Structure 1
Amino acid sequence: MAFVTSEGKLKSLSRLELPSSSMLRLTDSVSMDYYELWKKQSAVRTAVTFLARNIAHLGLHVFERKGDDDRQRLTDHPLAALFSRPNPATTRYRLMDALVHDLAIYDMAYWQKVKTSAGTPGLVRLPPAFVTPKGENWFSPEYFEVKGSRGKIEVKADEIVFFHGYSNTGIAGESPIESLRSTLSEEYEASAMREQMLKNGARASGYLERPVGAVSWSPEAKAKFAKGWRSQYSGGGTNVGGTPILEDGMKFVPASQSAKDLQYIEARKLTREEVASAYFIPPTMLGLMGGATYSNITEQHKMLYQDTLGPWLQMIKEEIELQLVPDLADGDVYVEFNLREKLTGSFEERQAAITGAVGGPTMTINEARALDNRTPLDGGDVLIRPLNVTQDGDPKPIPAEPAGTNPEEVVQ
């Protein structure tokens, strides 16, 4: 038997590695926290918020397994009530939205298990920047240190649901923003340069050249000319973009690259493409429409929920079932995200496919009215069957009209 090494023996080999720094160095003098990068870098914010909104939009349902091919959805279970309203001040959507934001930015996220004022179980999101895993166990934290403006507290490991990604050693994840360091650094420098050009330079950047034999200017004359030039043709001058009038044989010599030469638009597109790639998001989902057609956008939309969001949903589901479900339910209860509505296409496509598969209508009048929040009708719960559709062995088949029958007589 190969399972002979005890868990305790491995635990004694290493201490828990603390989370790495959450600061990213962009230049020699500028460093930003991961959150600041999300807040200020539009490409990062677009990608992360896109993931968070799409996952939070999905419903999280609770089921009980009845057999190998049978299950029942639980709508009145304490676990379902917990996700319906995690705490009196938070909705399910906002809890999931914050969870994905934390994972996408820090590669770590924390839910504190609490008891609400009503005495029911609750969940509260803890900001990753204020939480530190502690202990000597390299399999899982022994406790968590939570900091606040009035001090810090220690929270037992089983009182927190801890989500995290991969790292080489220890259990703290590594932010995907780290892999974008060079891309974001270039974007930061390009943005700073663009801002400086628009703020300090004329629209046609360069310098003024005077002829060799021109009359020498006094320091006061030079200062006066420079001040007048800047006030009129640079920054917020009244004649920015206008045509200057030069005297005494002076010439304007272009001395810098234009916005076109620097390819700002192309650079920003590249940054968004790199960020989309880091988060495994199809580029068209982030507005990069180069080469996009209706057919490949439709396929990429399916890929989004299968290849991009699929691993996210599976990870979140398994962590919930590992760390939260045992507190409120037995082993036959599990959770599942509702992907059906996202993967079945439009209502028309779905109904056409189902009708073609079963050979007839699948919805009653009242079921259709319920979709528009209309009241039911008497007799509307009967499934209408077209006259030309029957089943083999139907005890009461609808007879065909005999040849030569007058339609008006049939109606009468």
Structure 2
Amino acid sequence: MWNWFQKSQKELEVKESQVAHLIAAKNVGKPVWTPRQFDQLAEEGYQKNVIVYRCVSLIAGGIASVPWEIHENGETLCAHPLEKLIRAPNPNQALARFMEALSGYLMLSGNAYIEMVQVEGEPLELHLLRPDRVRVIPGISGVPEAYEYRVGSFSRKIPVNPLNGASTILHLKTFHPLNDWYGMSPLEAAAHAIDQHNAVGGHNLAVLQNGGRPSGALILPSGTLTSSQRQALKEDFRDFYQGGPNAGNIFVLEGEWDWKELSISPKDLDFIEGKYLSAREIAQAFGVPAMLVGVPGEATFSNYREARYHLWEDTILPLLESIKTELNRWLVPCFASQGKLELTYDTDSISALTPRREGHWNKIAQANFLTINEKRQAVGYAPIEGGDRV
């Protein structure tokens, strides 16, 4: 036992980065809190903002629609334990809902956590953990020492192997320039635009609640009312004339009193255009063409089909590739295989990528230096007899 411990320590010292221990120098063994409150970001940015909701739904729904496959030495496997696990990760979720929630967490918090449930070393279930309940406990070797999952006053630590970083927890995170342990959410980059968009929406709602027009001024003869009478008059006006149900009520004035409507209007203050501008900024932060979130006047892409293609090409596919590589690094080695086992996805079934497939096939069809079977192999078809000629 002592010899094994000394050997492990030597391996750790050999493989350790020269500066890795500095990252966790002040926080070894202590949970590191996330830089922003996930619940507040999710409430203000996702639950109360239709643009963020639409952007996350487009990305998460796209990832959820992609079919996954198991390949071994280039051949597709249909009856494999990994294929069964991916098809139904846990009793409460199928693959589509699992991937939708995974990408949603990644978009809203910049972090996503998957817990692997094993029986005798074989993975049987995969569960998603809420990002706001997970804390990273830094280790001295520059990798996490453990992950702490906390619900109320109850908590549990899931350990991490200090030699190779192996754990039953997979932490997916986006790039964060100022944090060593957590990712950065697109919500953080779009926070000011989201606040502006919500503020404009709140202002327009208040205008509608006040009868659909801005407030005015009641002009009285000087010295006719005391302060208490003036306050009582304001309250009476608010009760009888303000709000949607009171819109259009007859306005009654006596004597020399006069009502003058203020000239400031939402159009003068350019609220609507400001709302569209903030919507474009939010969509840019998530990598979604503004045309797809319903912003009028957006003419960056010639049509809706082209906008969908760029959404997949620039945003969804890179995120999908990142998820695939992490699952191949963390999950696939848990299954014994005679050859090269790989978890991948089928892009040919994605209708939005039709222009890319058409361009690829046209390029192959026009290549006069390839044989027929080489062309068929390039597009995924089996060779035919007599096809080994140009």
Letter in 2 for 1:235: G
How far residue 197 of structure 1 moved from its aligned partner, in angstroms, is 3.6
Confirm or deny: 8 A CA contact 2:113 2:131 kept in the other structure: yes
Provide structure 2 residue ranges, at least 5 long, that are not aligned to the other structure: 1-12, 161-166, 367-385
Relative to 1, partners in 2 of residues 1:202 and 1:90: Cα closer, same or farther, differing over 3 Å? closer
Q: What is the rounded CA distance, in whole Å, between the counterparts of 1:135 and 1:261 in structure 2?
A: 54
Q: Tell me the equivalent position of 1:279.
A: 286
Letter in 2 for 1:283: A
Greater RCO (Cα-Cα under 8 Å, separation 6 or more): 2
Confirm or deny: 8 A CA contact 2:116 2:123 kept in the other structure: no
Relative to 1, partners in 2 of residues 1:340 and 1:209: Cα closer, same or farther, differing over 3 Å? same
| SS in structure 2 of the partner of residue 276 of structure 1 | helix
Relative to 1, partners in 2 of residues 1:250 and 1:162: Cα closer, same or farther, differing over 3 Å? same
Confirm or deny: 8 A CA contact 2:16 2:141 kept in the other structure: no
| 1:36-185 correspondence to structure 2 within 5 Å | 36-37=43-44, 38-65=46-73, 71-115=74-118, 121-137=124-140, 139-149=142-152, 151-157=154-160, 158-168=167-177, 169-185=179-195
Relative to 1, partners in 2 of residues 1:245 and 1:171: Cα closer, same or farther, differing over 3 Å? same
Provide structure 1 residue ranges, at least 5 long, that are not aligned to the other structure: 25-31, 66-70, 359-390, 393-412
| SS in structure 2 of the partner of residue 13 of structure 1 | helix
Relative to 1, partners in 2 of residues 1:243 and 1:130: Cα closer, same or farther, differing over 3 Å? same
**Structure number with bigger Rg:** 1
| SS in structure 2 of the partner of residue 9 of structure 1 | coil
Confirm or deny: 8 A CA contact 2:193 2:279 kept in the other structure: no
Letter in 2 for 1:262: L
Letter in 2 for 1:317: K
How far residue 139 of structure 1 moved from its aligned partner, in angstroms, is 4.3
Q: What is the rounded CA distance, in whole Å, between the counterparts of 2:48 and 2:136 in structure 1?
A: 28
Q: Deviations over 1:173-208 (max 9, x none)?
A: 122211122212223333343344444577341111
| 2:24 aligned residue (11, 15, 19) | 15
Identity %: 26
How far residue 12 of structure 1 moved from its aligned partner, in angstroms, is 2.7
Relative to 1, partners in 2 of residues 1:221 and 1:258: Cα closer, same or farther, differing over 3 Å? same
Relative to 1, partners in 2 of residues 1:346 and 1:42: Cα closer, same or farther, differing over 3 Å? same
Confirm or deny: 8 A CA contact 1:230 1:237 kept in the other structure: no
How far residue 259 of structure 1 moved from its aligned partner, in angstroms, is 2.6
Q: Deviations over 1:193-226 (max 9, x none)?
A: 33444445773411111245xx824667646644
| 1:142-291 correspondence to structure 2 within 5 Å | 142-149=145-152, 151-157=154-160, 158-168=167-177, 169-200=179-210, 203-212=213-222, 216-217=224-225, 222=230, 225-236=233-244, 238=246, 240-242=247-249, 244-255=251-262, 257-291=264-298
Confirm or deny: 8 A CA contact 1:63 1:334 kept in the other structure: yes
TM-score (norm 2): 0.75
Confirm or deny: 8 A CA contact 1:85 1:91 kept in the other structure: yes
Q: What is the rounded CA distance, in whole Å, between the counterparts of 1:291 and 1:270 in structure 2?
A: 10
TM-score (norm 1): 0.72
Q: What is the rounded CA distance, in whole Å, between the counterparts of 2:201 and 2:131 in structure 1?
A: 29
Q: Tell me the equivalent position of 1:407.
A: none
What count of residue pairs does the alignment treat as equivalent? 337
Q: What is the rounded CA distance, in whole Å, between the counterparts of 1:293 and 1:10 in structure 2?
A: 45
Asked if 1:297 corresponds to 2:304, the answer is yes
